[in-house]
């Protein structure tokens, strides 16, 4: 009953902590989990947690109680319970510490992997400019002919381009990081054996117009980007991503000036751009082709303007909307995002995984430290007679303290050794969530083990000091 009541009090505190931490959890989950803002404390989940808490408290209170009941009164009363810390009970306590450390190691190791992965995601070069770059998503409720549509879009782009504070404007079916964008079709070099259009790799097609290279500044490896004057040429121009140029023609330089078939239409390669992360840091943009916007064979019902502003422009979202509405006042509300926002959204899942496991790892470290502290303090109380006699017979206080600390480090070492296997297995399960990190990374595992050993050392310090402060004269007087 005592254990259940103590567990109930701890569970009530846990509910309060959970309620207070829900806002922090939702802040981290925004953009990483669907419908995160609708999450609340659920009564069924709280009830389940309460039942588990009570059962665990009762079970772990019942086990030592049954052991005492089986031992008999004579053994319990003999010599005031001397020798109670000997044998199996001491090893059981150290085994409990080792098990707690092993589980904590798994969580700390997973948190370390995900934290390093999130850091590498944040540091990954995207291959295009994001500073002072904004995207404006515009939808057209009514359909028009191709020529009217093109004139309408050009008027809109011109209004934005000539506005104060605007450095460059481009537009296309999509923008980097905004959505998958583009269309896919089969591609092949002109002259390859066979006449079917599907004899070649599938490529993502990205139509654009305007100052695309002045806005995003992708790196040109060979040739040159095409401009407005080139867009009307026959065959129409195309820019290849470097991996696709190597796959089709052997090198970037060899691709320039060659003709390729995209679907059923031939295009001439005017340049090759470096591979980038158009779809986000987790995916390389390998097979990609940039073509003029006028080559789109249909009238889109939406497009995205990509705008680079001068540094220091305030309230950019409102200003960009107003620029659009000056020429298109009937359009629905344009969706305006900065490229920094899109990058944060693209990397939200990595940050969430990192913080989520870090929170669990922090709780596990607190529980491990509390378990080590409480177990050692209890053991020192049971060993008070033995420790007092050792001090009376000439043992140094530092030696007694070192003995207690050694017990903690020994149990922690066993837990680290056992938890290493579990940590490796957990890392394999997380492999799909990691970015350029080995799921069994030895450096991260060593760092997690070091953190656990430091935690054990800190938790053992007060019990060790308590053991060293025992008065040997008091112990002998009791004898």
pLDDT in tens, 244-261: 899 888 899 999 999 888
CA dist 283 and 281 (Å) reads 6
- Which residue is it, tokens 């950019």? 316
- Which pTM was predicted? 0.77
Beta strands 237-241 and 265-273 are parallel
| 193 and 317 fall within a common domain | yes
pLDDT above 70 for 76: no
* 135 found inside a domain: no
- Which residue is it, tokens 């992708």? 218
Write down the pLDDT at residue 446. 94
| 361 and 235 fall within a common domain | no
| Mean pLDDT within 158-176 | 89
By C-alpha distance, which of 73, 112, 169, 1 is closest to 441? 112
Determine contact, residues 209/172, Cβ cutoff 8 Å.
Answer: yes
Write down the pLDDT at residue 441. 92
Write down the pLDDT at residue 46. 85
User: Given pLDDT bands bounded at 50, 70 and 90, which one contains residue 88?
Assistant: low
Determine contact, residues 114/331, Cβ cutoff 8 Å.
Answer: no
| 216 and 358 fall within a common domain | no
| 302 and 399 fall within a common domain | no
- Beta-carbon count within 10 A of 167 CB: 16
User: Given pLDDT bands bounded at 50, 70 and 90, which one contains residue 101?
Assistant: very high
| 211 and 321 fall within a common domain | yes
User: Given pLDDT bands bounded at 50, 70 and 90, which one contains residue 444?
Assistant: very high
User: Given pLDDT bands bounded at 50, 70 and 90, which one contains residue 390?
Assistant: confident
* 305 found inside a domain: yes
CA dist 181 and 176 (Å) reads 8
| 108 and 254 fall within a common domain | no
| 271 and 363 fall within a common domain | no
* 336 found inside a domain: no
Write down the pLDDT at residue 102. 93
Determine contact, residues 120/435, Cβ cutoff 8 Å.
Answer: yes
DSSP collapsed to 3 states, 177-195: CCCCCCEEEEEEECCCCCC
| Mean pLDDT within 375-399 | 81
pLDDT above 80 for 187: no
Least confident of 373-377, 386-390, 420-424: 386-390
Beta strands 288-292 and 335-338 are unpaired
The more confident residue out of 196 and 78 is 78
* 77 found inside a domain: no
By C-alpha distance, which of 134, 81, 164, 69 is closest to 384? 81
| Residue/partner pairs of 409-412 with CB below 8 Å, 24 or more apart | 409/453, 409/456, 409/457, 409/460, 410/94, 411/94, 411/95, 411/97, 411/98, 411/101, 411/372, 411/456, 412/97, 412/98, 412/101, 412/372, 412/452, 412/453, 412/455, 412/456
| 161 and 239 fall within a common domain | yes
* 98 found inside a domain: yes
- Beta-carbon count within 10 A of 411 CB: 26
CA dist 409 and 417 (Å) reads 12
pLDDT above 60 for 110: yes
| 152 and 192 fall within a common domain | yes
Residues near 119 by Cβ (< 8 Å), separated by ≥ 6?
A: none
The number of domains in the chain is 3
pLDDT above 70 for 190: no
* 341 found inside a domain: no
User: Given pLDDT bands bounded at 50, 70 and 90, which one contains residue 194?
Assistant: very low
Domain membership of residue 170 as a residue range? 142-331
């Amino acid at each position: 009953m005592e254990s259940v009541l103590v567990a109930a009090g701890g569970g009530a505190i846990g509910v309060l902590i959970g309620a207070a931490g829900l806002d922090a959890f939702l802040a981290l989950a925004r953009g990483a989990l669907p419908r995160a803002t609708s999450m609340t404390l659920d009564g069924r989940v709280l009830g389940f947690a309460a039942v588990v808490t009570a059962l665990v408290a009762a079970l772990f209170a019942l086990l030592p109680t049954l052991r005492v009941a089986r031992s008999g009164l004579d053994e319990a009363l003999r010599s005031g319970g001397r020798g109670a810390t000997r044998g199996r009970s001491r090893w059981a306590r150290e085994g409990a510490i080792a098990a707690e450390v092993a589980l904590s190691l798994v969580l700390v190791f997973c948190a370390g992997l995900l934290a390093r992965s999130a850091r590498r995601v944040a540091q990954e070069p995207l291959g295009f400019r994001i500073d002072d770059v904004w995207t404006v998503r515009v939808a057209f409720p009514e359909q028009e002919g191709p020529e009217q549509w093109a004139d309408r879009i050009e008027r809109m782009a011109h209004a934005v381009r000539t506005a104060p504070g605007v450095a460059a404007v481009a537009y296309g079916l999509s923008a980097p990081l905004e959505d998958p964008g583009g269309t896919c079709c089969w591609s092949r070099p002109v002259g390859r054996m066979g006449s079917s259009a599907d004899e070649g790799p599938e490529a993502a097609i990205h139509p654009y117009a305007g100052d695309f290279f002045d806005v995003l500044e992708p790196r040109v490896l060979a040739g040159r980007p095409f401009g407005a004057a080139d867009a009307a040429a026959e065959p129409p121009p195309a820019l290849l991503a470097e991996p696709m140029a190597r796959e089709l023609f052997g090198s970037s330089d060899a691709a320039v000036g060659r003709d390729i078939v995209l679907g059923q239409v031939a295009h001439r390669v005017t340049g090759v751009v470096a591979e980038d992360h158009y779809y986000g840091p987790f995916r390389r943009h390998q097979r990609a082709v940039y073509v003029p916007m006028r080559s789109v064979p249909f009238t889109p019902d939406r497009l995205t303007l990509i705008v680079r502003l001068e540094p220091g422009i305030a309230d950019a979202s409102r200003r960009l909307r107003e620029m659009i509405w000056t020429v298109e006042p009937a359009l629905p509300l344009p969706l305006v995002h900065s490229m920094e926002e899109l990058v944060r959204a693209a990397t939200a899942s990595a940050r969430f995984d990192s913080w989520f496991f870090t929170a669990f790892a922090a709780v596990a470290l607190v529980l491990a430290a509390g378990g080590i502290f409480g177990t050692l303090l209890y053991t020192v109380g049971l060993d008070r007679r033995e420790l007092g006699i050792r001090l009376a017979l000439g043992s140094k206080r530092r030696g007694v303290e070192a003995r207690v600390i050694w017990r903690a480090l020994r149990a922690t070492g066993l837990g680290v050794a056992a938890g290493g296997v579990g940590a490796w297995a957990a890392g394999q399960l997380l492999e799909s969530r990691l970015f350029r990190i080995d799921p069994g990374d030895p450096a991260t595992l060593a760092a997690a083990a070091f953190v656990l050993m430091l935690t054990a050392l800190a938790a053992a310090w007060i019990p060790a000091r308590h053991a060293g402060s025992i008065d040997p004269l008091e112990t002998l007087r009791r004898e």
